[in-house]
Amino acid sequence: MIPVILDGDPGHDDAIAWLLAFASPELDVRGIVSVAGNASLENTTHNMRRIVTLLGVGGVPLAQGAARPLVAQAIVAHSVHGTSGLDGPALPEAAVDLDARPGAELMAHLLRESAEPVWLVPTGPLTNVATLLLAHPELKARIAGISLMGGGIHSGNWTPAAEFNILVDPEAAQVVFTSGLPILMAGLDVTEKAYVLPADFERVRAVGTPLAGIVADWLEFFFAYHRDLGYAGAPVHDPVAVVALTHPEILEVQPLYVQVETTGEYSRGATVGDVFGASGELPNARVALGIDRQAYVDLLVDAVAHYGRG
Ligand code: BDR
Ligand code: CA
């Protein structure tokens, strides 16, 4: 099994990524850390606790991560995820406690106590991971790699150039992309192809459990924002960072040298990929560019069904 630490800003697609991670026999989830992003840290932490309660995986350590980016002013995404960060269906009240340590310190502890290197799976702004790397550079050897949702070689979504997670904390992203650690990047190039159609929502709902109804309602809520932009389905971004570890065979991946723009009049937060090898630099990331969409949807439906059986 691959040991992982999840780190996100739930967020409907973060929640589905975590659901998938816990349902994947390939993964051993060692801990979860929240970060401000889609909503305030208070809200994303509350959502983390509600998701863990809903999934019934209460034994996993949870900690509250960074309340704001390293340098930048906070940005939230209420237009996408609602004011709570996880609007839509009613959820059970949180019935799990937080570890007292800050998120980056829980990560450090989990890395130290692991017998083997651990993958980090951030699906929000990269503030916690950067904080960990800056505070504990000696723990890099304990990190197997970073499988992240963020960026986009060919476009942004929050600005024309920048994807939301990288735009919120470009300085943190720069720490991550210059860390020398193995990076799997699931950016918009692939996640915009990882869309889930209304007919797929009904496949999820047809699983027939209360959890399936909640996930179908999450997908409906998340889709509403995108439908207004002209999408045929919901681009369910964050679970692709999980799939990159569990089912890499359904992704098309290209090694690329990727730099994060931290200045730029129009392009702060862009992930600049050296597609033509112009820099002469060696690749620092394996960038996912394509996905077998049907296989992806099947994995999500199977993951929802897993809880019904379990
Ligand atoms: C990313 O931004 C958030 O709204 C989603 O949760 C995802 O992590 C997509 O740009
Ligand atoms: Ca997210």
Q: Contact 9/38 with Cβ under 8 angstroms?
A: yes
The distance of Cα 79 from the centroid of its chain, to the nearest Å, equals 18
Q: Determine the Cα–Cα distance for residues 299 and 8; give it in Å rounded to an integer.
A: 20
Q: Is the confidence at residue 308, as pLDDT, over 50? A: yes
Q: Contact 17/6 with Cβ under 8 angstroms?
A: yes
Q: Determine the Cα–Cα distance for residues 95 and 49; give it in Å rounded to an integer.
A: 7
Q: Is the confidence at residue 186, as pLDDT, over 90? A: yes
* CB-ligand 1 contact for 261 (6 Å cutoff): no
Overall pTM > 0.95: yes
Q: Is the confidence at residue 92, as pLDDT, over 90? A: yes
CA of 18, nearest ligand number: 2
Read off the pLDDT of residues 152-176 as tens digits, 9 standing for 90 and up. 999 999 999 999 999 999 999 999 9
Q: Contact 64/98 with Cβ under 8 angstroms?
A: yes
Q: Which DSSP helix (H) or strand (E) runs through 229? A: none
Q: Please identify every residue whose CB atom is under 5 Å from ligand 2, which is an ion.
A: 9, 11, 14, 123-124, 238
pLDDT at 254: 98
State the number of CA atoms in the 13 A half-sphere of 168 facing the CB. Answer: 25
pLDDT at 310: 44
CA distances from 213 to 22, 177, 210, 223, 234 (A): 18, 38, 5, 15, 17
| pLDDT (average), residues 212-236 | 96
| pLDDT (average), residues 210-216 | 97
Q: Determine the Cα–Cα distance for residues 116 and 141; give it in Å rounded to an integer.
A: 10
* CB-ligand 1 contact for 285 (6 Å cutoff): no
Q: How far is the CA of 256 from the centre of ligand 1 (A)?
A: 22
pLDDT at 77: 85
Q: Which of 136, 237, 247, 306 is catalytic?
A: 237
Q: Which residue has the tokens 């839509």?
A: 88
- Residue 267 pLDDT grade (very low, low, confident, very high; cuts 50, 70, 90): very high
Q: Is the confidence at residue 81, as pLDDT, over 70? A: yes
- How much of the chain, in percent, has pLDDT values that exceed 90? 97
**Ligand 1 atom showing the smallest separation from residue 191 Cα:** 9
Q: Determine the Cα–Cα distance for residues 92 and 70; give it in Å rounded to an integer.
A: 33
Read off the pLDDT of residues 287-300 as tens digits, 9 standing for 90 and up. 999 999 999 999 99
Is 64 strand, coil or helix?
A: coil
Q: Contact 201/236 with Cβ under 8 angstroms?
A: no
pLDDT at 240: 99
- Residue 79 pLDDT grade (very low, low, confident, very high; cuts 50, 70, 90): confident
Q: What's the mean per-residue pLDDT of the chain? A: 97
Q: Is the confidence at residue 309, as pLDDT, over 60? A: no
Q: How far is the CA of 81 from the centre of ligand 2 (A)?
A: 10
Torsion over CA: 152, 157, 160, 162 (sign): negative
Judge whether 136 counts as a catalytic residue: no
Q: Contact 299/17 with Cβ under 8 angstroms?
A: no
* CB-ligand 1 contact for 238 (6 Å cutoff): yes
pLDDT at 126: 98
Contacts 24+ apart (CB under 8 A), 209-217: 209/304, 209/305, 209/307, 209/308, 211/54, 211/55, 211/304, 211/307, 211/308, 212/304, 212/305, 212/308, 213/89, 214/54, 214/89, 214/91, 215/16, 215/19, 215/304, 217/88, 217/89
- How much of the chain, in percent, has pLDDT values that exceed 70? 99
State the number of CA atoms in the 13 A half-sphere of 94 facing the CB. Answer: 14
DSSP E strand stretches across the chain: 2-8, 27-34, 62-63, 118-122, 143-149, 183-186, 195-196, 234-235, 251-256, 258-260, 271-273, 285-291
Query: Given its phi and psi angles, is residue 288 left (phi above 0), alpha (psi -120 to 50 degrees) or beta?
Result: beta
Which tokens hold the place of 47?
Answer: 């959502």
pLDDT at 58: 85
Lowest average pLDDT, out of 138-142, 177-181, 189-193, 227-231, goes to: 227-231
